[in-house]
Structure 1
Amino acid sequence: MSLSQIYFSTPRLTVAALTPQSAAIETLVGELTLILTPSVKQHLPPDIQSVNDEKSARKWLLNVMGESTFVTILASDSGALIGFFLLYEEKEANGKSVIRLGYAVGEHAQGLGYASEMIAGLVAWCRGSGFIASLSGGAEANNLASIRVLEKNGFVQESNAEHSEGEQRTVFLSRTFC
């Protein structure tokens, strides 16, 4: 099993890895421009800040798909894009994978429990995969909602794991599986 095969569902969500050959890319590009509003992007890395139209969304998406696994989070009832995961995999000497997680939830879906549900689903998938040793992610120190979502799903803050970049501080959290 590999990250490119990730697929799971939760009571309200369908979660699946996107491949570069997927016919859904063009539809996704349009949806990305709708969910990546300024308030959503304010907590995301610098490379995503330039996404503001379909052309820039396509360029960004193809770039991140070259370095990570892009995973769509869709509403099960409507098929609408709720958000996405970016999963960056590193192999350990024992063959297990260490995964760095980035995620975003569209403004229209915030405050409705989707972030907790999608992270819980990802944690369950990782635990059941048998090949993932840990999952880790960072959140801006002032993004308390994201930190709470991760902590609610068993992530713990790493000791001495704050990183300052300019004015922003990032808090790193991780969850170990084996």
Structure 2
Amino acid sequence: MLLSSLQFSTPRLTAVAFASADITEGFATDIAQLLTPSVKAHLPPDVYCVVDTESAKNWLTHTLSDALLVPFYLSESDTLAGFFLLYVMDDTQQKVDVRLGYVVAETFQGKGLASEIIEGLVAWCRASDRVASLAGGAEQANAASIRVLEKNGFTRDTDSEGDTVFLSLTF
């Protein structure tokens, strides 16, 4: 995959692309613990099934067949703070359009980590010269997520529908 070498650090976070061979019991447990009911409230329905280590392993295996998973950790403690998913829309091009979804652990929400990791991802995409655009969506009720994307240069698309606001950033 074109983005499988993705790796970057921000002042507080380290992000490294994840491979399916990396699905360990410990990582699956970390994902299951991160995906609390309040974290899952604004996520797509396919995540709702994650309730324990085994269901996290199954979800990870399924998700990794379609997306690149990039966990991010607090640099000072190596604690999993969240992850983002990147879906390459057309990998036949030299530069790709990428759809983005991201999650921050409940204990770390409201501390600026989402803004920081998205800023780092945007900087990596610009520097890589491999990404033509990033696009993401958030429920209208998830104002914090919309703000994070807008703060990092994403603009609202006119084709937003229903309760979902779509935003994109072209490089």
The TM-score bracket by the shorter chain reads over 0.9
Instruction: Quote the residue 2:132 is aligned against.
Output: 133
Question: Offset of 1:94 from its aligned partner?
Answer: 4.8
Deviates further, 81-90 or 1-10: 1-10
Q: CA offset at residue 152 of structure 1?
A: 0.2
Q: Structure 1 vs Structure 2: percent identity of aligned residues?
A: 51
Does structure 1 retain, via aligned residues, the 8 Å contact 2:133–2:170?
A: yes
Q: Match of 2:50?
A: 51
Residue 61 of structure 2 corresponds to which residue in structure 1? 62
CA distance in 2, matches of 1:94, 1:120: 24
Instruction: Give the structure 1 partner of residue 7 of structure 2.
Output: 7
Q: Which has the higher strand share?
A: 1
Instruction: State TM-score, norm by structure 2.
Output: 0.96
Q: Secondary structure at the match of 2:65?
A: helix
Alignment of 1:1-178 (within 5 A): 2-22=2-22, 25-91=24-90, 94-159=93-158, 161-164=159-162, 169-177=163-171
Structure 1 unpaired stretches of 5+: none
- Take 1:92 and 1:172, find their aligned partners in 2: how far apart are those partners? 21
Label 1:154 to 1:57 Cα distance change in 2 as closer, same or farther (>3 A).
same
Root-mean-square deviation (Å): 1.4
After superposition, the Cα gap between the structure-2 partners of 1:53 and 1:19, relative to the gap in structure 1 and judged at 3 Å, is same
Distance in 2 between residues matched to 1:15 and 1:86, nearest whole Å: 12
Distance apart, 1:25 and its partner CA: 3.2
Q: Displaced runs of 4+ in structure 1, greater than 3 A?
A: none
Deviations 1:40-75 (A, max 9, x none): 000000000010001110000111011100001111
Mapped partners of 2:95, 2:71: distance in 1: 24
- Matches of 1:94 and 1:79, distance apart in 2: 35
Q: Which amino acid aligns with 1:60?
A: W
Structure 1 residues 134-169: Cα deviation after superposition (integer angstroms, max 9, x where no partner): 00000000100000000000000011x2223xxxx1
Aligned residues: 171
CA distance in 2, matches of 1:30, 1:128: 33
Unaligned ranges ≥5, structure 2: none
Spell out, residue by residue over 1:87-109, the C-alpha distance to the aligned partner (whole angstroms, 9 max, x if none).
Answer: 00022765210000001001000
Q: Separation in 2 of the partners of 1:81 and 1:30?
A: 11
